[in-house]
Amino acid sequence: MFDFLEDYDVLGAFWVTVQLTVYSAIGSLIWGTLLAAMRVSPVPLMRGFGTAYVNVVRNIPLTIIILFTSLGLFQTLGIKLGSEDFTVINFRLAVLGLIAYTSAFVCEALRSGINTVPVGQAEAARAIGLNFRQVLTLVVLPQAFRSVVGPLANVLIALTKNTTVAAAIGVAEAAFLMKEMIENEAQVILIAAIFAFGFVCLTLPTGLILGWVGKKVAVKR
């Protein structure tokens, strides 16, 4: 019953999924933090740019962004992201698309974290004579970071699931392999069960652990 599995590298496909997730998570954390910094900055122009980016990107399907990186950036504009190998190019394009999309959600999660800090905290900090840097590093940001773990965990879970969209441009991750296997093999239910199990293994523990951590560190108000 499980014989046909020997012809396919299921673990390898899930390893690509994990790689996509990790690289995109790091990238979108950096770009998302920059966007969040822009959205709360005192410079109106930066705030405007951050808001516009988030609103535009959040309303475009990820599928379009990923396909655009391949059909638009690579095939039309010839952007190769420093590689000649198609597999590598597609992988990097997918990571680029996932970063562009996910960072909008990271930005929103971080911003909502800053917004949970009551204004009174900052006012009290100023009243005892702390300067801007001290207010930020000693009072506001420590509280903001702690309340942001839960929402960021949700973004990470969504990102893990969203990596399947990379199948649209031929990155050999889990959904791509599943599509291939379904076309060639008869055991549809079994194949689906294997991949469903794989994703449950990836997402549920992340949610449970980070959800627990998030609750543990969150500031009780």
Partner 1 sequence: MTSVLYDAPGPRAKRRNVILSVAFIAVLAAALWWVYLKLDEKNQLDWVKWEPFFTDSRVWTTYILPGLENTLIAAALAMVIALPLGAFFGIARLSDHWGVRWPSGAVVEFFRAIPVLILMLFANAVYAEFTDISSEDRPLYAVITGLVLYNASVLAEIVRAGILALPKGQSEAAMAIGLRKGQTMRYVLLPQSVTAMLPAIVSQLVVIVKDTALGGALLNFSDLMAAVRPMSAFYGANTIASFTVVALIFILVNFALTSFASWLEGRLRRSKKSTGAVLGAEKVDDINAAEVGGSYGTGAGGAL
Range list of H helices, 70-187:
86-115, 119-127, 132-134, 141-162, 174-184
Q: Which CB sits closer to partner 1, 41 or 87?
A: 41
> Is residue 119 exposed (0-12), middle (13-18) or buried (19+ Cβ within 10 Å)?
exposed
According to the binding rule CB under 8 A, does residue 217 interact with partner 1?
Answer: no
For partner 1, the binding residues in 98-137 under the rule CB under 8 A are: 105, 108-109, 112, 114-115, 117-119, 121-122, 126, 132, 135-136
Minimum distance from residue 96 beta carbon to partner 1 (Å): 15
Q: Which of the ranges 5-13, 23-31, 81-89, 191-199 carries the binding residues for partner 1, by CB under 8 A? A: 191-199
According to the binding rule CB under 8 A, does residue 80 interact with partner 1?
Answer: no
Q: How far apart are CA 31 and CA 93, in angstroms?
A: 16
Q: Which residue among 26, 30, 56, 138 contacts partner 1 (CB under 8 A)? A: 56
According to the binding rule CB under 8 A, does residue 168 interact with partner 1?
Answer: yes
Q: How many residues bind partner 1 (CB under 8 A)?
A: 78
For partner 1, the binding residues in 13-52 under the rule CB under 8 A are: 40-46, 49
Q: Which residue among 12, 15, 55, 87 contacts partner 1 (CB under 8 A)? A: 55
According to the binding rule CB under 8 A, does residue 182 interact with partner 1?
Answer: yes
As a whole number of angstroms, the longest Cα–Cα distance in the chain is 72
Q: Which residue among 30, 124, 196, 217 contacts partner 1 (CB under 8 A)? A: 196
Tell me which residue has tokens 């990836």.
Answer: 202
- 125 near 153, Cβ under 8 Å? no
Q: How far apart are CA 203 and CA 210, in angstroms?
A: 11
Burial 175-198 (b: 16+ CB within 10 A, else e): bbbbeebeeeeeeeeebeebbeeb
According to the binding rule CB under 8 A, does residue 72 interact with partner 1?
Answer: yes
Minimum distance from residue 92 beta carbon to partner 1 (Å): 17
Give the type of residue at 27: G
Q: Which residue among 161, 190, 218, 219 contacts partner 1 (CB under 8 A)? A: 161
Q: How far apart are CA 25 and CA 37, in angstroms?
A: 18
> Is residue 132 exposed (0-12), middle (13-18) or buried (19+ Cβ within 10 Å)?
exposed
Q: Which of the ranges 5-13, 28-36, 56-64, 92-100 carries the binding residues for partner 1, by CB under 8 A? A: 56-64
